[in-house]
Chains A and B, each alone.
Chain A
Amino acid sequence: AQTVTQSQPEMSVQEAETVTLSCTYDTSESDYYLFWYKQPPSRQMILVIRQEAYKQQNATENRFSVNFQKAAKSFSLKISDSQLGDAAMYFCAYRSAAAGNKLTFGGGTRVLVKP
């Protein structure tokens, strides 16, 4: 079974600075998708960024970018120019391309942004 590990329970970043969240996963498959979801204190989870495993180019969405290392099974999220609104729980998730639409989530990393 696939597992997703986020080794940092909490990260703190100064406003306008950069923070990187780590995520590793375990799978024997070659075709899959990886996601970062954000859950602000209001609890509505939203998708931040996603990466298809077959794409070598790292995904980027405005201030959010990933470092996808397929061989190392690593998928880190970089938040640049951090803003107060970035404070939230961030979850890394994995979905097999062959196993329907089931998502496996990591334990989450809480990001605190200091003004």
Chain B
Amino acid sequence: ETGVTQTPRHLVMGMTNKKSLKCEQHLGHNAMYWYKQSAKKPLELMFVYNFKEQTENNSVPSRFSPECPNSSHLFLHLHTLQPEDSALYLCASSQAGTVDSNEQFFGPGTRLTVL
């Protein structure tokens, strides 16, 4: 595997389900991100992790719970979601703290549908 991978690629869940999205980066980066991409809206940054520590929570509802067990893996735990949470969820990584630290590498995304 190379780059940034995400599983599953597609997910359909009911409002009472609990599911998790997984992201893995194979680039040796130290920062990871979750974005939400909804139709006709700009990409919204949800969470940022630097060196496994959460450094940004962009006022995300508590029904989204991120977890970063190490610098290569990032999870997004989902529970009691609403239909308006249906979107493409993108994971990204970058090498923070260096001069050339400003390129984020994105995964293919998980297409989430909440029924």
Q: Point out residues on A near B: beta carbons under 8 Å.
A: 4, 33, 35, 37, 42-47, 50, 91, 95, 100-108
Among B43, B56, B103: residue with most chain A CB under 10 A: B43
Chain A residues whose C-beta falls within 8 Å of the C-beta of B41 in the assembled complex: 107
A100-B50, A107-B40 given; 11 more Cβ-contact pairs under 8 Å: A4-B42, A43-B90, A43-B109, A44-B109, A47-B103, A47-B105, A91-B43, A101-B48, A101-B50, A104-B45, A105-B42
Chain B residues whose C-beta falls within 8 Å of the C-beta of A107 in the assembled complex: 40-42
Choose the segment among B15-23, B61-69, B94-102 that binds chain A (4+ C-beta atoms closer than 8 Å).
B94-102
Chain A residues whose C-beta falls within 8 Å of the C-beta of B88 in the assembled complex: 43
- Is B45 within 8 A of A45, CB to CB? no
- Is A44 within 8 A of B107, CB to CB? yes
- Is A101 within 8 A of B106, CB to CB? no
Chain A residues whose C-beta falls within 8 Å of the C-beta of B7 in the assembled complex: none
Interface residues of B in 26-65 (CB under 8 A from A): 31, 33, 40-43, 45, 48, 50, 55-56
A32 to B, closest residue via Cβ = B102
Chain A residues whose C-beta falls within 8 Å of the C-beta of B104 in the assembled complex: 47, 101, 103
- Is B96 within 8 A of A45, CB to CB? no
Q: Measured between C-beta atoms, what is the minimum distance from A21 to chain B in Å?
A: 15
Cα distance A46–B101 when bound, in Å? 15
- Is A100 within 8 A of B42, CB to CB? no
- Is B106 within 8 A of A45, CB to CB? yes
- Is B102 within 8 A of A105, CB to CB? no
Residue in B40, B42, B56, B103 whose beta carbon sits within 8 Å of that of A102 in the complex: B56
